[in-house]
């Protein structure tokens, strides 16, 4: 099945527009109509963008969102996570604790059941292996067919991200204690890097690119307590400095994505009456590693996932079923530099 989608339903200034918009940037909001909400997005090594919709399933576009093709998964499942490996493999996590793997571009799928996992919340596919994160953490090193799990009393993973080189960073929580850890071998061994001071403060979102690591901090004991605080490291997590996101202090940053020192963050407020996200989300951009924020988009939706690719686009999966595409020349320049020095592709 193939469907054509208009390149942009809203260009440059959706819902109020950027407060400061670099003229060289383009923003497009796509409404493919595949489902009521979009739970995950990724981009593979060829530039094809992949998305998971509910109840629409898995779709991909080879031309930056203009046309889309369906990739049915059997047995039918609700996708919750998505990743594209550097070797071309595609991974879809399900709400039942399964990981579906495709070796042929989404034509056929192999089902891997991960006992005790429940819903798969995030999948990372790097040159050092594959990680599936949910109630437990499973890893598959290299081309090994076996999936290995951590100990039963391992810490809860609150956020996870990988650099282009395959170094994995995780926000971990045990009780009211939160910290950041790093793994250089695909999740087999972890090194504790930074312990968050205070009770209940954990890492809510992570992004990594090269030696640059960015974290959003949240207080799990109460909403609205220093939710706009962030951490950054320029040396692979050895040292950290704090900064503040330009969002309302009551907004929690739920999604981060980075290419070098270009960082995007998506913050969402909380509606005390409904118990869900408020319609006052904001998309933020920094071009210098979170030191200054030069643009922000006031929006009414929540971003559930973010990804970038070799085309230089940054994609955000929104909870209204739409896909936000940001074409950023600074990201394109970063991608070109990565290819020039042979370091690899964005993850």
194-203 confidence digits (pLDDT tens): 888 878 889 9
Q: Which residues contact 267 (CB under 8 A, 6 or more apart)?
A: 227, 228, 245, 247, 248, 251, 252, 253, 254, 281, 282, 284
Largest CA distance in the chain: 52
The DSSP string of 312-328 is SEEEEEETTS-EEEEE-
Sign of CA dihedral 141, 146, 151, 157: positive
* Statement: residue 6 has pLDDT above 50: no
What percent of the chain has a predicted confidence (pLDDT) above 90? Answer: 37
Q: What pLDDT, in 10s, does the model give residues 305-339?
A: 999 988 889 999 988 888 888 888 888 888 888 76
* Statement: residue 166 has pLDDT above 50: yes
Question: Which one is predicted more confidently, 84 or 223?
Answer: 84
Q: What is the pLDDT of residue 272?
A: 52
Q: What pLDDT, in 10s, does the model give residues 214-253?
A: 999 988 776 555 567 899 999 999 999 999 887 666 678 8
The DSSP string of 230-253 is EEEESSTTSS-EEEE-SS-TT-EE
**pLDDT (average), residues 58-75:** 90
Residue 333 and residue 209: Cα distance in Å, rounded?
14
Q: Which of 129-133, 134-138, 191-195, 253-257 has the lowest mean pLDDT?
A: 134-138
Phi-psi region of 260 (alpha: psi -120 to 50; beta: other; left: phi over 0): left
Q: What is the pLDDT of residue 26?
A: 73
* Statement: residue 271 has pLDDT above 80: no
Closest CA to 295 of 347, 239, 246: 246
Residue 70's pLDDT band (boundaries 50, 70, 90)?
A: very high
Q: What is the pLDDT of residue 177?
A: 86
Per DSSP, the three-state class of 154 is coil
Residue 200 and residue 219: Cα distance in Å, rounded?
5
Which of 11-15, 51-55, 300-304 reaches the highest mean pLDDT? 51-55
Residue 232 and residue 229: Cα distance in Å, rounded?
10
Q: Are 326 and 262 in contact (CB under 8 A)?
A: no
Residue 86 tokens, joined: 């550097």
Q: Which residues contact 185 (CB under 8 A, 6 or more apart)?
A: 128, 141
Q: What is the pLDDT of residue 249?
A: 63
pTM of the model: 0.88
Residue 260's pLDDT band (boundaries 50, 70, 90)?
A: very high
**pLDDT (average), residues 8-28:** 45
The CATH architecture of the domain made up of 157-300 is 6 Propeller (2.120)
Q: What is the pLDDT of residue 223?
A: 58
Residue 192 tokens, joined: 């504790």
Q: Are 313 and 295 in contact (CB under 8 A)?
A: no
Other Cβ atoms within 10 Å of 63 Cβ, number: 14
Residue 88's pLDDT band (boundaries 50, 70, 90)?
A: very high
**pLDDT (average), residues 146-167:** 82
Q: Are 302 and 313 in contact (CB under 8 A)?
A: no
Q: What is the pLDDT of residue 7?
A: 36
Closest CA to 118 of 86, 88, 157, 89: 157
**CA dist 150 → 137, 139, 278 (Å):** 6, 9, 36
């Amino acid at each position: 099945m193939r469907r054509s989608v208009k390149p942009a339903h809203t260009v440059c200034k959706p819902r109020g527009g950027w407060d400061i918009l670099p003229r060289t940037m383009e923003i497009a909001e796509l409404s493919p109509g595949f489902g009521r909400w979009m739970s995950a997005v990724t981009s593979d090594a060829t530039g094809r963008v992949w998305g998971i919709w509910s109840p629409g399933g898995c779709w991909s576009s080879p031309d930056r969102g203009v046309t889309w093709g369906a990739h049915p998964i059997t047995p039918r499942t609700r996708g919750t996570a998505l990743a594209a490996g550097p070797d071309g493999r595609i991974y879809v996590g399900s709400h039942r604790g399964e990981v579906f793997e495709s070796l042929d571009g989404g034509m056929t799928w192999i089902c891997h059941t991960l006992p005790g996992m429940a819903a798969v919340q995030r999948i990372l596919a790097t040159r050092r292996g594959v990680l599936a994160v949910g109630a437990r953490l499973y890893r598959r090193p290299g081309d090994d067919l076996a999936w290995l799990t951590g100990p039963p009393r391992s810490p809860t993973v609150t956020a996870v991200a990988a650099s282009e080189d395959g170094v994995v960073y995780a926000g971990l929580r045990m009780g009211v204690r939160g910290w950041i850890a790093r793994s250089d071998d695909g999740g087999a061994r972890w090194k504790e890097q930074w312990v968050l001071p205070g009770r209940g403060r954990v890492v809510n979102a992570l992004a990594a690119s090269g030696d640059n690591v960015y974290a959003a901090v949240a207080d799990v004991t109460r909403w609205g307590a220093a939710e706009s605080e962030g951490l950054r490291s320029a040396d692979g997590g050895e040292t950290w400095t704090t900064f503040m996101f330009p969002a309302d202090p009551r907004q929690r940053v739920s999604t981060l994505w980075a290419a070098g020192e270009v960082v995007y963050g998506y913050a969402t407020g909380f509606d005390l009456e409904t118990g869900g996200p408020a319609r006052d989300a904001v998309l933020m951009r920094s071009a210098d590693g979170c030191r200054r924020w030069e643009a922000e988009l006031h929006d009414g939706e929540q971003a559930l996932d973010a990804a970038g690719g070799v085309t230089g686009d940054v994609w955000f999966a929104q909870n209204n079923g739409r896909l936000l595409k940001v074409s950023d020349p600074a990201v394109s320049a970063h991608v070109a530099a990565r290819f020039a020095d042979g370091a690899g592709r964005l993850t």
